[in-house]
């Protein structure tokens, strides 16, 4: 069911993007807030069937050209593995940070790649990721941004989140262009 929802969201984003005009221009800046953990996230090879992750953070970017932007993000991530109080269950909160590039091939539809890191008291993790999203403008400068993303863990045996190999999820955000 979750995979069907993600595929449907990606299809809608692509279809809407095919008819839109790019609202960003060279030199534009974007800033916003984003969140994940809406129960629309799938972990692969994690060995902890009941894992959940919630993220909240800020993102920003600068357009090198009309279609290419550098972006950065920072925030907090909370991971819960197993049932609260159960043997082997884990709760951890970590600081997230990342950077990458976005390319807008058609209108407000974008694809991006980048690096994402996490650090906590005794943990460190690195991810390489890819994302596809769409900027839906609610006014001239304010937009809503749904993003489907995939992250591949590049760090092995990092603290309490050892099994988390790859993640497919949905992020929702609001941003402003200036």
Per-residue pLDDT at 161 exceeds 50: no
Q: Which residue has the higher pLDDT, 167 or 22?
A: 167
Q: What is the mean pLDDT of residues 107-124?
A: 87
Going by pLDDT thresholds of 50, 70 and 90, the confidence category of residue 9 is low
pLDDT of residue 154: 86
Per-residue pLDDT at 160 exceeds 50: no
Q: Is the dihedral of CA 85, 90, 96, 101 positive or negative?
A: negative
Going by pLDDT thresholds of 50, 70 and 90, the confidence category of residue 21 is low
Per-residue pLDDT at 87 exceeds 80: no
Question: Could you report the per-residue pLDDT of 126-154, keeping only the tens digit for each?
Answer: 889 999 999 999 998 999 999 999 888 88
Q: How many CB atoms lie within 10 A of CB 55?
A: 20
Mean of all residue pLDDT scores within the chain = 78
d(CA 71, CA 133): 13
**CA trace torsion 18, 73, 75, 14 (10° rounding):** 10
Q: Which residues contact 119 (CB under 8 A, 6 or more apart)?
A: 94, 95, 97, 125
Number of domains making up the chain: 1
pLDDT of residue 93: 81
- The boundaries of the domain holding residue 26 are 2-177
Q: What is the mean pLDDT of residues 109-126?
A: 87
d(CA 36, CA 62): 23
d(CA 31, CA 50): 33
Is the full-model pTM beyond 0.85? no
pLDDT of residue 147: 94
Question: 69: domain CATH number?
Answer: 2.40.160.20
Going by pLDDT thresholds of 50, 70 and 90, the confidence category of residue 15 is very low
């Amino acid at each position: 069911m979750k995979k069907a929802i993600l595929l449907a969201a990606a299809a809608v984003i692509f279809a809407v993007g095919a008819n839109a005009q790019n609202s960003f221009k060279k030199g534009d800046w974007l800033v916003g807030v984003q969140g994940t953990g809406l129960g629309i996230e799938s972990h692969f090879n994690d060995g902890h069937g009941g894992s959940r992750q919630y993220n909240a953070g800020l993102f920003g970017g600068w357009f090198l050209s009309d279609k290419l932007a550098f972006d950065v993000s920072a925030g907090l991530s909370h991971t819960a593995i197993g049932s609260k109080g159960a043997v082997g269950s884990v709760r951890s909160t970590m600081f997230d940070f990342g950077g990458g590039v976005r390319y807008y091939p058609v209108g407000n539809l974008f694809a991006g790649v980048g690096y994402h890191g996490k650090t906590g008291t005794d943990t460190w993790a690195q991810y390489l990721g890819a994302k596809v999203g769409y900027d839906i403008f609610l006014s001239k400068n304010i937009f809503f941004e749904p993003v489907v993303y995939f992250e591949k863990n590049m760090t092995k045996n990092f603290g309490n989140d050892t099994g988390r190999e790859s993640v497919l999820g949905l992020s929702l955000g609001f941003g402003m262009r200036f």
